[in-house]
A and B are shown apart, each in its own frame.
Chain A
Amino acid sequence: MDFHLTPEEEAFRAEVRAFLDEMLPPGTNAMDPKFLATWQRRVREKRWVGFSWPKEVGGGGGSIMQQVILKEEMAKRKAPPLGSCFMGLAWVGPAIIEYGTEAQKQRFVPDILDGKYQWCTGYSEPGSGSDLASLQCRAVREGDHYVVNGQKIWTSIAMWSKWIILLVRTGPPGVENKHDGITCLLVEMETPGITVRPIRNMSGGAMFAEVFFDDVRVPVENRLGEEGQGWKVTVSALAHERSSIAEVEGLLRKLDELVELAQGAVKNGRPALADDAIRRRIARFETRIEAMRMNGMRFLTKQLRGEPLGADTSINKLHRADLEVEMGDLALEIQGGDGHLEKEVDGGRWQRFALNWPEVVIGGGTPNIQRNIIAERVLGLPKD
């Protein structure tokens, strides 16, 4: 056991910190579009966008430890994101790099790195949520095209995306072919026959949408991986989603804000933070967040030793789910009677936080699905 960094790793951390000192002096308005444009250009030059990707495709070729350091330092300083094509960088890009043809890599990867446009993800369907592999959206081969008919739902940012990574059924229906009959297609959202209908969520915003496909023609060259390989492509992409270590820093910053809120709020004539019960609940959050960090370190050691991660990453997904819900809930509780008012305290920041957790908690597999994964794959309990 040794948590010290090598001199090279320490040097890299210093480089990142120096860059952040230069780019983010006190008083920087990180929401200013002009600043953001400069930021994205500079981090792209540094090759910190797609930092984990191989250098051959334009990535940074960073080691696992360097990736961790970069993410940690960025999160500590609440730096803007590295790159702007969120889903492209998170899983579409990795999937294309792993399964794509040479032509697909050349066509899509540079645009993802440069943030030229957004990607969205068409997996879930009205009848296929937790049981994703039961999906029904069909693609029938007609010459050098697939013709797609069906519907997707919970498609985040579909209305602002240029491309969608889509799972469709190509094989014959039936239980035996549940996973084998699925194929992955890359589809341009402007293709005739696609209709996007935004869904308003409980916070009043609309981040996701329903997407309808009506005789949509997709060139065969836009198939990612072989026909029937779609499930494999997806699973590896979702594993990328579950392995984020930087979320710990983000949660710690959120915890700081919660402590500030509790310091400023008055309960029974004294600061809420002076209340033992509230202090303990906050300490409990801190404990879970640090446990996530240390779990992440143990998973990282496994990765560095070349061992498979398996279902372990579900552990942190479950912690995250509890924390998102409970932290938002405590914030509103501290606000007391104002807690249910839309914008009375801090412009409604905590209200939005307390209403937006489903995006993180349900997206990528609900808590109960994570528990099934652990029970069956780790503990060896029989499948239901």
Chain B
Amino acid sequence: MNFGFTEEQELLRQEVRKLLDARAPMEAVRKIAETPEGFSRELWKEMGQLGWLGLTIPEAHGGAGLGWVDLVVLLEETGRTLFPSPLVATTLAAAAIRDAGSAAQQARWLPRLADGSAIGTVALAERGDRFEAPAIQLAGRREGDGWALDGEKVGVLDGAAADLLVVSFRTGAGPDDVALAVVERGAAGLALESTPSIDLTRRVARARFAGVRVAGDAVLAGGAAALARLLDRAAAAVTAETIGAAEGALRLTVDYARERVQFGAPIGRFQGVKHPLAEMYVDVESFKSLLYYAAWCLDEGHPDAPRFVSMAKAYAGEAFARIGIDGVQLHGGVGYTWEYDIQMYLKRSKWARAAFGDPDHHYDRVAKLRTEAR
């Protein structure tokens, strides 16, 4: 039994932290986030060269062939300073193709995702918080060996910049009659439109499908099971970033509480300030433990994976939202200003709570999995 990271993983953490500290401290993050695209093509290229983009892509396709536990290390660090890039989006697209793609499909798309020459994303959610198989409405109509897609996806991560999208769509009337397919940028009938977010560091888009043609060789295998697995991976990735982001928000607030003097003492000496900070720490450490185990289960194909992904995502969504609010509140008036960084974490928490299932959704799933297990 060993619930810790390896030396290689610790080295990866240091390497990521070093580059981000040097090239993307908070001032730089703010500048990058305010550009029209919302991320730096230059840093994107470097991330590709460093192997971050292909971290979980097999070596045969130009990746590092590592697992979700390694990815957690990377995402914790990019989350810490809300580093804006299509890293999560691209990683999820690659995971879908690796998990459910044929050898030919993997060879066709994975190398471009691994070196960053293509930006990938997943288009799974629809209006009304629908993303699980039975709720999918984006319609597939049989056309030759493939499909024609009609409908709309929302909240598509980095959708406006994406070169290829893994999209979920309905193939029949049964609840599990769904499939995943790869659609490339420029496909006739596909319209990608950026939808401005309150969180500048997190870009999302709406994708409209009007008779978008998907050839048979662009459809991935696995149907509803592949979608469920992708959703688990997505929820885990968001939670991994949330660990870093929540720790970043906690650090900022603790530092502020040690410096800010009122009533003749640093406010961090008062229990009214100390105790909410201690609660933040308890929560971060706890959803971190759940997520680490969930990531290991994903790598091992362990049956605990769905339950622990949902527990981690539910806990993190709830706790990070609270941390954002308490963080701003403990800063007092300056926390409300654009100038101070804590507000950026609060905004991220609003996205992270809802992305790929809010706490209620995941608690419902935990309850259901428990009932099924009894």
Whether A associates with B in a native complex is: yes
User: A residues engaging B (CB < 8 A)?
Assistant: 1-5, 9, 65, 259, 276, 279-280, 282-284, 286-288, 290-292, 294-295, 297-298, 300-302, 304-305, 312, 315, 318-319, 368, 370-372, 374-376, 378-384
Task: Report how far A198 CA is from B289 CA in the complex, Å.
Answer: 42
Task: Say yes or no: A3 contacts B293, CB within 8 Å.
Answer: yes
Pick the contact of B366: A1, A283, A297, A378 (CB < 8 A): A283
The interface residues of chain A lying within 8 Å CB-to-CB of B351 are none
The interface residues of chain B lying within 8 Å CB-to-CB of A286 are 311, 366, 370
Task: Report how far A381 CA is from B277 CA in the complex, Å.
Answer: 10
The interface residues of chain A lying within 8 Å CB-to-CB of B254 are 379-381
In the complex, 10 of the A-B residue pairs with CB atoms within 8 angstroms, ordered by the A residue number, are A3-B1, A9-B1, A300-B3, A301-B4, A315-B281, A372-B274, A372-B278, A375-B268, A382-B268, A384-B271
Task: Say yes or no: B1 contacts A300, CB within 8 Å.
Answer: yes
The interface residues of chain A lying within 8 Å CB-to-CB of B314 are 283-284, 287
- Interface centre among B270, B277, B282, by most A CB within 10 Å? B282
In the assembled complex, B287 has its CB within 8 A of some CB on chain A = yes
The interface residues of chain B lying within 8 Å CB-to-CB of A380 are 254, 258
Main secondary structure of the interface of A (DSSP, over half): helix
The interface residues of chain B lying within 8 Å CB-to-CB of A374 are 278, 281-282
In the assembled complex, B367 has its CB within 8 A of some CB on chain A = yes
Task: Say yes or no: A283 contacts B4, CB within 8 Å.
Answer: no
User: B residues engaging A (CB < 8 A)?
Assistant: 1-6, 69, 250, 254, 257-258, 265-266, 268-271, 273-275, 277-279, 281-282, 285-287, 289-290, 292-293, 295-296, 308, 311, 314-315, 360, 363-364, 366-367, 370, 374
* Shortest Cβ gap from A205 to chain B (Å): 31
Chain A residue nearest to B274 (CB atoms) is A375
What would 6 more interface pairs be, CB under 8 Å, given A291-B315, A295-B285? A1-B2, A279-B367, A287-B363, A315-B285, A376-B274, A384-B274
Task: Report how far A292 CA is from B285 CA in the complex, Å.
Answer: 10
Task: Say yes or no: A383 contacts B366, CB within 8 Å.
Answer: no
Task: Say yes or no: A2 contacts B292, CB within 8 Å.
Answer: no
Task: Say yes or no: A319 contacts B286, CB within 8 Å.
Answer: yes
Task: Say yes or no: B367 contacts A282, CB within 8 Å.
Answer: yes
Task: Say yes or no: A65 contacts B285, CB within 8 Å.
Answer: no
Given contacts A3-B293, A287-B290, A319-B286, whether A297 and B1 have CB atoms under 8 Å apart is yes
Task: Say yes or no: B278 contacts A305, CB within 8 Å.
Answer: no
The interface residues of chain B lying within 8 Å CB-to-CB of A372 are 271, 274-275, 278
Task: Report how far A248 CA is from B250 CA in the complex, Å.
Answer: 27
* Shortest Cβ gap from B259 to chain A (Å): 11
Task: Say yes or no: B364 contacts A384, CB within 8 Å.
Answer: no
Task: Say yes or no: A287 contacts B360, CB within 8 Å.
Answer: no
The interface residues of chain B lying within 8 Å CB-to-CB of A290 are 290, 308, 311
Task: Say yes or no: A1 contacts B292, CB within 8 Å.
Answer: yes
Task: Report how far A302 CA is from B274 CA in the complex, Å.
Answer: 26
Task: Say yes or no: B269 contacts A384, CB within 8 Å.
Answer: yes
The interface residues of chain A lying within 8 Å CB-to-CB of B360 are 280
Task: Report how far A370 CA is from B279 CA in the complex, Å.
Answer: 10
Chain A residue nearest to B2 (CB atoms) is A2
Task: Say yes or no: B287 contacts A291, CB within 8 Å.
Answer: yes
Task: Report how far A375 CA is from B250 CA in the complex, Å.
Answer: 12
Task: Report how far A282 CA is from B5 CA in the complex, Å.
Answer: 32
Chain A residue nearest to B270 (CB atoms) is A384
Pick the contact of A319: B271, B282, B292 (CB < 8 A): B282
Task: Say yes or no: A276 contacts B315, CB within 8 Å.
Answer: no
Given contacts A368-B275, A371-B279, A381-B277, whether A284 and B363 have CB atoms under 8 Å apart is yes
The interface residues of chain A lying within 8 Å CB-to-CB of B69 are 1
Task: Say yes or no: A371 contacts B274, CB within 8 Å.
Answer: yes
Task: Report how far A286 CA is from B292 CA in the complex, Å.
Answer: 17
Task: Say yes or no: A294 contacts B364, CB within 8 Å.
Answer: no
* Shortest Cβ gap from A273 to chain B (Å): 8
The interface residues of chain A lying within 8 Å CB-to-CB of B285 are 295, 312, 315
Task: Say yes or no: A375 contacts B4, CB within 8 Å.
Answer: no
* Shortest Cβ gap from B276 to chain A (Å): 9
Task: Say yes or no: A295 contacts B311, CB within 8 Å.
Answer: no
The interface residues of chain B lying within 8 Å CB-to-CB of A1 are 2-6, 69, 292, 295-296
The interface residues of chain B lying within 8 Å CB-to-CB of A276 are 364
The interface residues of chain B lying within 8 Å CB-to-CB of A383 are 269
The interface residues of chain B lying within 8 Å CB-to-CB of A370 are 278
Task: Say yes or no: B258 contacts A294, CB within 8 Å.
Answer: no
Task: Say yes or no: A381 contacts B268, CB within 8 Å.
Answer: yes
Task: Say yes or no: B3 contacts A371, CB within 8 Å.
Answer: no
* Shortest Cβ gap from B262 to chain A (Å): 13
Pick the contact of B275: A284, A301, A375 (CB < 8 A): A375
Task: Report how far A280 CA is from B311 CA in the complex, Å.
Answer: 11
Task: Report how far A378 CA is from B268 CA in the complex, Å.
Answer: 13
* Shortest Cβ gap from B353 to chain A (Å): 15
Task: Say yes or no: B364 contacts A283, CB within 8 Å.
Answer: yes
Task: Say yes or no: B258 contacts A381, CB within 8 Å.
Answer: yes
The interface residues of chain A lying within 8 Å CB-to-CB of B265 are 382
Task: Report how far A5 CA is from B1 CA in the complex, Å.
Answer: 6
The interface residues of chain A lying within 8 Å CB-to-CB of B275 are 368, 371-372, 375
Pick the contact of B364: A3, A4, A279, A287 (CB < 8 A): A279
Task: Say yes or no: B274 contacts A283, CB within 8 Å.
Answer: no
Chain B residue nearest to A379 (CB atoms) is B254
Chain B residue nearest to A9 (CB atoms) is B1
* Shortest Cβ gap from B312 to chain A (Å): 8
Task: Report how far A282 CA is from B271 CA in the complex, Å.
Answer: 30
